[in-house]
Structure 1
Amino acid sequence: MTELKEKTQNALDESRTLILGAQILLGALYRTIFEPGYHELPPESRFLVLCALGLITVVVGLLIAPAPYHRIVEGGQDDHEFTSYVLRIMMIALLPFALSLGISLYIFVTKAVGSLYGIIAGAGATVTALFLWYGLRLMPRHEKDEQN
Structure 2
Amino acid sequence: MNVNGIETTCLDRPHPAELPDAHDQWNFAARRETPTQRLDRNYAEILQEVRVAQTGVQLLLAFLLTVAFTPRFATLTEFERRVYVSAPILGAAATALLIAPAAFHRLVFQRRLKRELVLASSRFALFGLTLLMLSIGSALLLILSVTLGAVPAAWFTVGALGWFALWWFVVPMWSRIRNSRC
Where in structure 2 are the equivalents of 1:1-148 lying within 5 Å? 1-75=36-110, 79-140=114-175
Larger radius of gyration: 2
Cα offsets for 1:59-109 (capped at 9, x unmatched): 101111111211232339672221111111111122222111111101101
Which 10-residue stretch deviates more, 57-66 or 69-78? 69-78
Maintained 8 Å contact 1:70/1:82:
yes
Structure 1, gaps ≥5 residues long:
144-148
Maintained 8 Å contact 1:4/1:78:
no
* TM-score between the two structures when normalised by the length of structure 1: 0.85
Moved over 6 A (4+): none
Which 10-residue stretch deviates more, 109-118 or 86-95? 109-118
* TM-score between the two structures when normalised by the length of structure 2: 0.71
Q: Distance in 1 between matches of 2:48 and 2:102?
A: 10
Identical residues among aligned pairs (%): 25
Question: Counterpart amino acid of 1:43?
Answer: E
Q: CA deviation at 1:38?
A: 0.9
If asked which structure has higher relative contact order (CA below 8 Å, sep 6+), I would say: 1
Q: Distance in 2 between matches of 1:26 and 1:140?
A: 32
Maintained 8 Å contact 2:83/2:141:
no
Q: For residues 76 and 64 of structure 1, do their structure 2 counterparts lie closer, same or farther at Cα, with a shift above 3 Å needed?
A: farther
Maintained 8 Å contact 1:52/1:101:
yes
Alignment RMSD (CA, Å) = 2.0
Maintained 8 Å contact 2:90/2:132:
yes
Maintained 8 Å contact 2:84/2:138:
yes
The number of residue pairs the alignment matches comes to 143
Question: Counterpart amino acid of 1:122?
Answer: T
